[in-house]
């Protein structure tokens, strides 16, 4: 199964933002893209109009590095810390001492001012990019490097600058990265598309250390791509690239009675939900904030093979494996010139109702879909990303979910 996205291929990413009635009028909301420009990368900031859901490009800021123009479709190239004052974006091909390794660019928010670029000779993201996610307390940034197959723990300083603390080898390059917690049990979960596996790391040291689960990587039925986890940390939802695309769920447990002896924490309660369309290279997904926080709501799966976003009704049960997914009607993405597949999906609207699905269509369009109360979608309009040479592979929102 081909899981590597060549840089000249075209990308679509998606973000659910909010329309009237779901955004506080006194709070400015932004959609931010990592433009992944090879010649000189940038982030582009769009201001969201809560009255009609439209976007207006208000700022383009150089990252100070160079992009890849491609990579894993589910890799998160942007992250925003929990205190909402720092934004991080990755440059996969920036050189260090004349050797391409990649870096992480740090910005203050909401001014979106570049603070600096952070790299290390032991860290290389030039193969399929550098993924990002944050510790539960927002004090540490976890970065997955696809060239060197390792995860770095960066300390976030008060001025948003970064200090490298630890690095951890991984058995394959990391794609999707999500952090979750069950009370004092905190963990990082990742997917390895080229390793056909998912993995779990316990977070310790207040966020500064990672310990791989005793069982090591777990091999699902197919190739894992996208990933999201419920707020209570119980259920991990994975988009698997197969034919047809399937969604897999795992129950995450730190209870030794649910894991093999001496093997807690672990992934258990595995289920498959299939028939979401012909596969390509991407099966990325995102739980709506309602589904994420309450265990019941909308789940959106972007499948590049059939250029669709499928809304699912998601319900978390009370026992391992107790997950219900009900298919909605897939919405076919209108094919703009050169669009080949879909990528990252995110939501920020509290209920999903009346929100907007923002789809970054390579190279410079952000399409829009309206969200109905039953999680279904209706195609709307497109906005243009004005950044020359943009190859948008990742998109996020400020403030974050």
- pLDDT-derived band of residue 394, with 50, 70 and 90 as boundaries? confident
- What lies within 8 Å, CB to CB, of 228 at 6+ separation is 178, 236, 237, 285, 286, 287, 292, 299
Burial class (CB in 10 A: 0-12, 13-18, 19+), 87: buried
pLDDT in tens, 273-300: 877 877 766 677 888 878 888 898 888 8
Q: Which residue, among 172, 220, 218, 182, has the nearest Cα to 202 in the 3D structure?
A: 182
Outline where DSSP puts E strands in 288-376.
296-303, 308-316, 323-327, 331-332, 356-361, 365-371
Are β-strands 377-384 and 365-371 bridged in parallel, bridged antiparallel, or unpaired?
antiparallel
In a domain, 255, yes or no: yes
- pLDDT-derived band of residue 221, with 50, 70 and 90 as boundaries? low
Q: Which residue, among 100, 85, 105, has the nearest Cα to 35 in the 3D structure?
A: 105
Q: DSSP characters for 8-23?
A: TS--EEEEEE--TTSS
The CB-side HSE value for 85 (13 A sphere, CA atoms) comes to: 9
In a domain, 320, yes or no: yes
Q: How far apart are CA 193 and CA 219, in angstroms?
A: 10
In a domain, 335, yes or no: yes
- What lies within 8 Å, CB to CB, of 221 at 6+ separation is 240, 242, 246, 248, 272
Segment 230-254 mean pLDDT = 89
- pLDDT-derived band of residue 256, with 50, 70 and 90 as boundaries? confident
Its pTM stands at 0.89
- pLDDT-derived band of residue 392, with 50, 70 and 90 as boundaries? confident
Segment among 40-49, 288-297, 384-393 with least mean pLDDT: 384-393
pLDDT of residue 10: 24
State both tokens at 314. 């998601």
H or E segment and range at residue 169: strand 162-169
In a domain, 341, yes or no: yes
Tally the domains of the chain.
Answer: 1
H or E segment and range at residue 292: helix 289-294
Please check the confidence at residue 161 and state whether its pLDDT lies above 70.
yes
In a domain, 141, yes or no: no
pLDDT of residue 307: 67
Q: Which residue, among 145, 159, 155, has the nearest Cα to 96 in the 3D structure?
A: 145
In a domain, 184, yes or no: yes
Please check the confidence at residue 386 and state whether its pLDDT lies above 90.
no
Q: How far apart are CA 366 and CA 400, in angstroms?
A: 19
At 226 the three-state DSSP class reads strand
Helix, strand, coil fractions of the chain, as percent rounded to 5: 5, 45, 50
φ, ψ for residue 33, nearest 5 deg? -115, 145
- pLDDT-derived band of residue 151, with 50, 70 and 90 as boundaries? very high
pLDDT of residue 352: 45
Residue with tokens 């001012």: 113
Segment 226-244 mean pLDDT = 90
Segment 202-209 mean pLDDT = 97
In a domain, 261, yes or no: yes
In a domain, 213, yes or no: yes
pLDDT of residue 6: 27
φ, ψ for residue 84, nearest 5 deg? 65, 15
pLDDT of residue 68: 93
pLDDT in tens, 308-360: 778 888 899 888 888 998 887 777 765 554 544 455 554 444 444 456 667 76
At 363 the three-state DSSP class reads coil
Give the CATH number of the domain where residue 194 resides.
2.130.10
Segment among 121-135, 199-213, 387-401 with least mean pLDDT: 387-401
pLDDT of residue 15: 35
Question: Does residue 230 contact residue 316 with C-beta atoms inside 8 Å?
Answer: yes
| Domain extent at residue 363 | 12-67+180-398
């Amino acid at each position: 199964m081909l899981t590597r996205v060549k840089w000249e291929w075209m990308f679509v990413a998606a973000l659910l933002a909010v329309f009237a009635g779901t955004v506080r009028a006194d709070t400015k909301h932004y959609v931010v893209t990592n433009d992944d420009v090879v010649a000189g990368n940038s982030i582009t900031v769009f201001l969201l109009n809560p009255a009609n859901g439209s976007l207006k490009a208000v700022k383009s800021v150089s990252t100070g590095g160079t992009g890849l123009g491609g990579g894993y479709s589910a890799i998160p190239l942007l992250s925003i810390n929990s205190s909402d004052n720092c934004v991080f974006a990755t440059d996969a091909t920036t050189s260090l001492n004349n050797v391409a390794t990649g870096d992480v660019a740090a910005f203050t928010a909401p001014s979106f001012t570049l603070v600096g670029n952070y790299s290390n000779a032991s860290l290389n993201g030039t193969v399929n990019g550098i993924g990002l996610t944050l510790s539960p307390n927002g004090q540490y940034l976890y970065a997955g490097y696809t060239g060197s197959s390792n995860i770095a723990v960066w300390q976030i300083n008060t001025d948003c600058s970064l200090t490298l603390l630890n690095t951890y080898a991984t058995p394959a390059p990391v794609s999707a990265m999500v952090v979750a917690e069950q009370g004092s049990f905190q963990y990082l979960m990742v997917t390895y598309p080229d390793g056909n596996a998912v993995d779990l790391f316990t977070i310790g040291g207040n966020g500064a250390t990672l310990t791989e689960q005793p069982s090591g990587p777990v091999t699902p039925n197919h190739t894992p791509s996208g990933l999201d986890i419920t707020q209570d940390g119980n259920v991990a939802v994975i988009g698997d690239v197969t034919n047809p695309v399937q969604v897999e769920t795992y129950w995450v447990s730190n209870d030794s009675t649910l894991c093999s002896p001496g093997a807690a924490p672990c992934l258990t309660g595995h289920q498959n939900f299939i028939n979401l369309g012909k596969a390509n290279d991407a099966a990325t997904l995102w739980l709506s904030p309602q589904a994420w926080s309450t265990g019941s709501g909308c789940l959106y799966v972007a499948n590049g093979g059939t250029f669709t976003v499928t809304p699912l009704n998601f319900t978390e049960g009370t026992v391992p494996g107790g997950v219900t997914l009900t298919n909605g009607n897939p919405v076919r993405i209108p094919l703009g010139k050169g669009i080949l597949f879909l990528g990252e999906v995110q939501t920020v609207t509290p209920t999903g109702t009346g929100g907007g699905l923002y789809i970054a269509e390579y190279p410079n369009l952000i399409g829009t879909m309206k969200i109905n109360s039953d999680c279904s979608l209706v195609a709307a309009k497109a906005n243009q990303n004005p950044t020359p040479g943009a190859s948008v592979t990742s998109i996020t929102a400020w403030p974050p979910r």
